């Protein structure tokens, strides 16, 4: 669960609230949320739990990274208090202070409707993006704006056209696409898309979109326990 969202944690401490993962627990369901304002990742799972009121806490990423070092296969008991959290493994434990403050309401950020829906093979999409990203990463600063890792996605019939421009040339990739809705060209930071595709375990991935400058939802096709909202880049 942590691996599915931690890439979206803010890497700079301009807003300390966003340097942690929000953990929400209610009705036996644990939800992890992370955002750096450019993207938002949400993962949910049903867990074994005792009696308790719905609760939420923001856990520092550094503490979560220590928890990830607990050997795989061990059962971890999570205890959330008002100011502290404990992760109790069978042979190790991590205790941490919580980050206090108001975390953005993720439900307001997640688009509830879409006008276009693209379904792609996860591996094919990931491989094509990686190749295009090699060109995009070689892009220089233009008009004092850096367009590093910028790629363009365009629906063309039953193909998704992925294009990138850089100092060393241009790249165009095409992958099979199952689509709903009209044509659309939209630009993204390729690294943001790749971060999601690295953790999607489903054979197919879905992109739900509305307009070129509106946020897109990326999620596995066969599962409903994970999604990532990504803000596009101006074309």
Residues 80, 162 share a domain: no
Q: Are residues 212 and 166 in the same domain?
A: yes
Residues 73-107 have pLDDT tens digits of 888 999 988 899 999 999 899 999 999 999 988 88
| Token duo for residue 18 | 């966003």
Mean pLDDT of 168-179: 91
Residues in the chain: 235
Residue 54 shares a structural domain with residue 146? no
Full domain range(s) for residue 177: 116-230
Query: Tell me: the pLDDT tens digits for 43-79?
Result: 999 988 765 688 899 999 999 999 999 888 888 999 9
- Domain at 7, CATH number: 3.10.150.10
Cβ-based neighbour number of residue 150 at 10 Å? 22
**Closest C-alpha among 106, 90, 33, 37 to residue 64:** 33
80 and 172 belong to one structural domain:
no
Q: In terms of domains, do 152 and 204 share one?
A: yes
Q: How far is CA 20 from CA 46, 55, 165, 209, in A?
A: 21, 16, 34, 28
Q: Is residue 235 part of a domain?
A: no
Q: Which residue has the higher pLDDT, 5 or 146?
A: 5
Segment 26-48 shows an average pLDDT of 93
pLDDT at 104: 87
Model's pTM, two decimal places? 0.90
How many domains does the chain fold into?
2
State whether 125 and 160 are in the same domain.
yes
Chain segment 108-150, per-residue pLDDT in tens: 889 999 999 999 999 999 999 999 988 877 554 444 344 468 9
């Amino acid at each position: 669960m942590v691996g599915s969202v931690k890439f979206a944690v803010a890497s700079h401490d301009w807003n300390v609230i966003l340097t942690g993962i929000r953990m929400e627990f209610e009705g036996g369901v644990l939800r992890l949320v992370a955002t750096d304002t450019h993207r938002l990742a949400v993962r949910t799972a049903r867990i074994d739990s005792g009696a308790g009121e719905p609760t939420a806490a923001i856990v520092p990423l550094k503490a979560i990274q220590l928890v990830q070092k607990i050997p795989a296969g061990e059962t971890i008991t999570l205890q959330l208090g008002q100011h502290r959290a404990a992760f109790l493994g069978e042979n190790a434990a991590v205790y941490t202070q919580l980050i206090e403050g108001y975390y953005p309401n993720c439900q307001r950020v997640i688009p509830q409707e879409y006008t276009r829906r693209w379904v792609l093979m996860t591996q094919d999409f990931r491989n094509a993006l990686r190749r295009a990203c090699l060109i995009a990463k070689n892009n220089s600063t233009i008009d004092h704006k850096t367009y590093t890792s910028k790629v363009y996605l365009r629906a063309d019939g039953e193909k998704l056209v992925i294009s990138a421009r850089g100092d060393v040339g241009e790249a165009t990739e095409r992958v099979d696409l199952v689509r709903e809705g009209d044509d659309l060209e939209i630009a993204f930071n390729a690294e943001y898309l790749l971060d999601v595709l690295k953790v999607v375990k489903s054979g197919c991935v879905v992109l739900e979109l509305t307009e070129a400058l509106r946020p897109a939802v990326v999620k596995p096709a066969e599962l409903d326990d994970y999604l990532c909202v990504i803000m596009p880049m101006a074309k």
